[in-house]
Chains A and B, each alone.
Chain A
Amino acid sequence: MGNSKNHPDQMYIEGLAANDSAIIQSIYKKFVPKVVFFVMNNSGDKEQAQDIVQEVMILLFNQAKANTLKLTCPFDAYFFLLCKRKWLNEFKKTSNKGVTIHEDIVSMNESAIDLIGQTEEFDEKQQLFDTMFQKLGDKCQELLKLSFSIKSMEEVAEKLNVTYGYVRKKKSLCVGQLTQWIQEAKNFNSLKNN
């Protein structure tokens, strides 16, 4: 599937990444009503539908910015299924009830399912990362924030009023701490899954 060409609907992804209002508006106009209809028919209301759509849009923006979102199927199906699954997950979380999901997977093409898997994996990784980042001490958080927004480590050292060597070492260790935690979570998950 790696050699499948980008779908013409890739323009929606690029529009999101570029914060293009016209594209965002057309997504709302063309694809959102279907999501609202679905949420409202599955124990939700309009405001919940609005939140779900917004969450998915931000997720797509993040994935597009990370350059890992290459559309290989129509945006319509991809977007709708993402929203649908997100809503059902949310609903399961809050209602504690079993939900019967009537997924018409038969009608979905393989690349759409694959793509949704990728996006959901991206979402999970990002959430795990955010959780771990919040676990870091304030000093580590600040240093990483500066290091990755300023880029020049000399400038970061100057800003924090410490030496370049210290900043470099500290940065490696802060990233290392995150790495260790995430690695542990990964190992735990693979144990759980196997």
Chain B
Amino acid sequence: MNEERYILFDQYLQSEMTAAEKTDFEKQLAEDPEFASEFETFKAVHIQLENKFGFEAEREAFKENLTQISEKHFNTNKPKVVLMRPWYYAAAASVIILFGLFFFDYNQNPSFHDYNHPGQAHFTERSTTDMHLLQAEKAFNSRKFKDAILFFEMALKDNKTPEVQYYYGVSLLETSEYKKAETVFNELKATNPVYKDKALWNLAIMKLKQKDYKGCKQILQTISQDYEDYDEVQELLDALD
């Protein structure tokens, strides 16, 4: 690289030469085409540098403004298909998935109501004379479980049979008195082998009612296959899987 020459070019452009130096320089420009051509390029580089950095802030502002106007122009004119950017697809997909999950969840997990058969109480057939029990039975069979609970509680004071306990438990389950119901069924399960599986079944569907599918399954698995309604147990187990 001809360092001297470029320093000279710069001095000339900055008007830092003496009159004699200047005359010499201009003489060389006139006589030496290669020298002149290189000086032209040097000047052009100067101009380009001035353009590049002198207007840098303005250029950035222009580009930003241009991009905004361009985006606005193209987006309002674009057909819908082009408009669909990936995030629109993502949003649409999430809505569909959420919607789907809502029903999926609903359908996929068995519902308490499908397995809830409180049955009919028939104490009176055994010609009971217990007024409370009669009223309890009547309330229970007409599905007034809240009333039934009150009457069962009174009846149980005089007549604590597993059958009465069982229907009392069912009434509690129907009115979602989970804690009390659980106590009743657990007691029944522990004290009476005849009611053991029935009690377990009710404990299981109580978990189902509370959407505790895992708990429900665990209890169902403890029910003996000899249980009279084992078909339903199996069905619920399958539904839970």
Q: For the complex, give the distance between the alpha carbons of A144 and B10 in Å.
A: 13
- Where chain A touches its partner, the secondary structure class is helix
- Set of chain B residues within 8 Å of A186, measured between Cβ atoms: 41
Please indicate the chain A residues that have their CB under 8 angstroms from the CB of B74 in the complex: 46-47, 50
| B45→A148 contact, CB < 8 A | no
Interface check A149, CB cutoff 8 A: yes
Are A61 and B3 in contact, with the CB atoms below 8 A? Answer: no
- The distance from the CB of B76 to the nearest CB of chain A, in whole angstroms, is 10
Tell me the residues in window 33-91 of chain B with beta carbons closer than 8 Å to chain A beta carbons: 37-38, 41-42, 44-56, 58-59, 61-63, 65-67, 69-70, 73-74, 77-78, 82
Is B69's CB under 8 angstroms from A28's CB?
yes
> Do the beta carbons of A148 and B53 come within 8 Å of each other?
yes
Given contacts A46-B82, A62-B51, A125-B44, contact A175 B6 (CB under 8 A): yes
Q: Contact string, A38-54, partner B, CB cutoff 8 A, digits 1/0? A: 00000000110010011
Q: Which of A32, A65, A171, A172 has the most CB of B within 10 A?
A: A172
Q: Which residues in chain A, 42-101, are within 8 Å of chain B measured between CB atoms?
A: 46-47, 50, 53-54, 57-58, 61-62, 65-66
Check B1 for interface membership: any CB of A closer than 8 A.
Answer: yes
For A118-129 the 0/1 string (1 means CB < 8 A from B) is 000000011001
A65 touches B66 (CB 8 A): no
A144 to B53, Cβ gap below 8 A?
yes
Q: Which of B41, B54, B70 contacts A149 (CB 8 A)?
A: B54
CB distance from A66 to the nearest CB of B (A): 5
CA distance A22 to B47 in the complex (A): 29
- B3 and A129 within 8 A (CB): no
Q: How far apart are the CA atoms of A180 and B6 in the complex, in Å? A: 10
Q: Would you call A148 and B50 a contact (CB within 8 A)?
A: yes
B115 located at the interface, meaning its Cβ lies under 8 Å from any Cβ of chain A in the complex = no
| Contact status A179-B70, CB under 8 Å | no
Q: Does A21 contact B (CB under 8 A)?
A: yes
Given known contacts A21-B69, A28-B73, is B42 in contact with A175 (CB within 8 Å)? yes
Interface residue? A163 (CB, 8 A): no
Chain B residues contacting A176 (CB-CB under 8 Å) are: 1-3, 5-7, 9, 42
Name, among A144, A147, A175, the residue most crowded by chain B CB atoms within 10 Å (CB to CB). A175
Cβ-based interface call for A24 (8 A): yes
Beyond A129-B45, A179-B38, whether A168 also contacts B10 by CB under 8 A is yes
- Bound-complex Cα distance A176 to B9 (A): 9
CB atoms of B45 and A178 under 8 A apart = yes
Select one of B52, B70, B82 contacting A53, CB under 8 A. B70
Q: A65-B51, A129-B45 are in contact. Are A57 and B66 (CB under 8 A)?
A: yes
Instruction: Please provide the chain A residues from 172 to 191 with a CB less than 8 Å away from any CB of chain B in the complex.
Output: 172-173, 175-180, 182-183, 186
15 contacts between A and B (CB under 8 A): A19-B58, A25-B69, A28-B73, A58-B59, A65-B51, A148-B54, A168-B10, A171-B10, A173-B3, A173-B7, A175-B10, A175-B46, A176-B1, A177-B1, A179-B9
**A-binding residues in B (CB < 8 A):** 1-3, 5-7, 9-10, 37-38, 41-42, 44-56, 58-59, 61-63, 65-67, 69-70, 73-74, 77-78, 82
